Amino acid sequence: MGEERIVDGRGLMPPEPMELTLTALDTLPEGEELLLLLYVEPHPLYAILEKNGYAHRSQSRPDGTVEIRIKKRES
């Protein structure tokens, strides 16, 4: 297991967080997780993940940050 990969999209202007996330997923090793940090639930990204075989779960922090953990779905 390597270090956890993180995309912090909280200080970025859309669509930068989505672009960075999609690029990061390209090189994400099998079985590893990508952590995306945002202030909103990224519904367009969820639709893309769903269709492309990625599982995601999101959780809100008290400061309003949404943590989205993305992983390739096991086939």
Residues that bind other proteins (CB under 8 A): 11-15, 19, 22-26, 39-41, 43-44, 46-48, 50-53, 63-64
Q: How far apart are CA 67 and CA 2, in angstroms?
A: 19
Of 2 and 11, nearer to other proteins (C-beta) is 11
Of 4 and 41, nearer to other proteins (C-beta) is 41
Of 6 and 53, nearer to other proteins (C-beta) is 53
Residues 6+ apart with CB under 8 A from 28: 5, 34, 70, 72
Question: Least separation, in Å, of the C-beta of 11 and other proteins?
Answer: 5
- Backbone φ, ψ for residue 2 (5° rounding): -85, -165
Question: Least separation, in Å, of the C-beta of 32 and other proteins?
Answer: 15
CB 38 within 8 A of CB 13: no
